[in-house]
Chain A
Amino acid sequence: MLDDVSLSLDAGEAMLLTGPNGAGKSTLLRVLAGLRRPDGGALLWDGVPIAEDRTAHATRVAYLGHQDALKPSLSVVENLHLFARAGGGDMTAALKAVDLLPLADLPARLLSAGQKRRAALARVLLAQAPLWLLDEPSLGLDANAIVLLGEAIARHRAAGGVVIATTHVPLPLEDVRHLALPGAPDPADRWWDEQSSALSSSDHEGASA
């Protein structure tokens, strides 16, 4: 599905993956997370192939998938407890960052779609992993929450973290690189061209049909 794509990021960098539905954005993210084995090619972290130890790679990754992965019967805190334990993040700070603190003890089944998305984002914060892989992080978020998402990503990058996100809508990110995956031209991606004057580095962009 996805051929001849190459990318590399340094600490503090962010990259947006865009492309039409079915272009392979989510697949690429799952490969980067080590959840899926690439059919060919290599994936290096600090020069070491991640296939050597996928469990070690898992500790470097915070992955936000299409699904929010929340158990309806557990409260927000109970849902996130395991991941706070694994990543060592501070629960209160993470919930505050996504403005979920007042709803912390509510069962996840009572949350709206956007609130569930914010809980899933809190899990990304709790993982305290250097590499954030976000699959359409703004899905279902209101304008206020998108601002919070932008702030969280900015803090993460300032601390030396790397962010790779797929998106169909503009995200409030500064100095971001862009990788358009091959596929039919998508008019929805035009917003990028209008903003691309700020684009500085295009050396690692690689995409072909």
Chain B
Amino acid sequence: MMSLFWAVVFRDLRLALRHGADTLGAVLFFILTGTLFPLALGPSPDLLRHMAPGIIWVCALLAALLPLDRLFGAELEDGSLDQLLLLGLPPALVALAKITAHWLTTGLPLLIAAVPLAIMLGLPTATLPILLAGLLLGSMVLSLVGGMGASIVLGARRGGVLLPLLVLPLITPALIFGAAAIDAARTGLPWGPDLELLGAFLAGALPLCPLAAGAGLRAAVE
């Protein structure tokens, strides 16, 4: 069963490679919106350094939302979702496989792209590991919660509009703790608790979100 799970993940990775423009779109969006802030706020290093954690986190969240709309939508439209659900995998595992692929093709590149953006905004290099650790957990949470949201709005008209409205409120705790951890590291406060809370959020989302997403997929093909 696990080999079948990874076969679904690899199928999605292969699809993402073939549609390189779509995959890179989220990362480019992330870098572009990030670079807009210095232009809009003015070139004050202090201000940018102060706002950098929030800018990076908000931009990463919005960028990761972009491909969510098509995560299950494309599968539903061309009938592939029927075939995926008939593979013999529980629907929750089908959803988790697609969520894993979403993280590998969106979350992971965002993580890498966050480094140059952080340096550009003047974030002290000592806080970079905290930023990456927080974004690592946060991007996983976003893929999970986002995948759940995407499967719930699947088949709904205007699903693309509904999706951010559903996902963004749910993801705010991750945003708060993730940005707070970097702020704490920057000002010399303990940043451990923030990351631990983020990890707790992930630990809760990991079993629950795929279950809800699987039920959403079942409902979508009915």
Contacts and interface: CB of A to CB of B under 8 A. Distances in A.
Nearest to A58: B86
Contacts of B78: 67-71
Nearest to B90: A55
Contact of B7 (A54, A59, A74, A86): A86
Interface string A36-75: 1100000000000000001110110111011111110110
Contacts of A178: none
Interface residues of B, number: 24
Nearest to B221: A35
B222 A35 contact: yes
Contacts of B79: 65-69
A153 interface: no
A155 interface: no
A80 to B, nearest CB: 10
Contacts, number: 72
Interface stretch (B8-16, B109-117, B123-131): B8-16
B85 interface: yes
Nearest to A37: B222
Given A67-B79, A81-B11, A58 B85 contact: yes
What class of interface size applies to chain A in its complex with B? Answer: 20 to 34
Contacts of A62: 86
A188 interface: no
Given A78-B14, A82-B8, A85-B7, A73 B19 contact: yes
Contact of B87 (A33, A34, A54, A86): A86
B82 A82 contact: no
B119 interface: no
B85 A35 contact: yes
A55 B15 contact: no
B81 to A, nearest CB: 8
Nearest to A59: B88
28 contacts: A30-B221, A35-B82, A36-B222, A55-B88, A55-B89, A55-B90, A55-B91, A58-B87, A59-B88, A62-B86, A63-B86, A65-B83, A67-B78, A69-B78, A69-B80, A69-B82, A69-B83, A71-B15, A71-B78, A71-B80, A81-B7, A81-B11, A83-B87, A85-B4, A86-B7, A86-B87, A86-B88, A86-B89
Interface of B: 3-4, 7-8, 11, 14-15, 18-19, 78-80, 82-83, 85-91, 218, 221-222
Given A33-B86, A69-B79, 14 more contacts: A35-B86, A37-B222, A58-B85, A58-B87, A63-B86, A65-B79, A68-B79, A71-B15, A74-B14, A78-B14, A83-B87, A85-B7, A86-B7, A123-B83
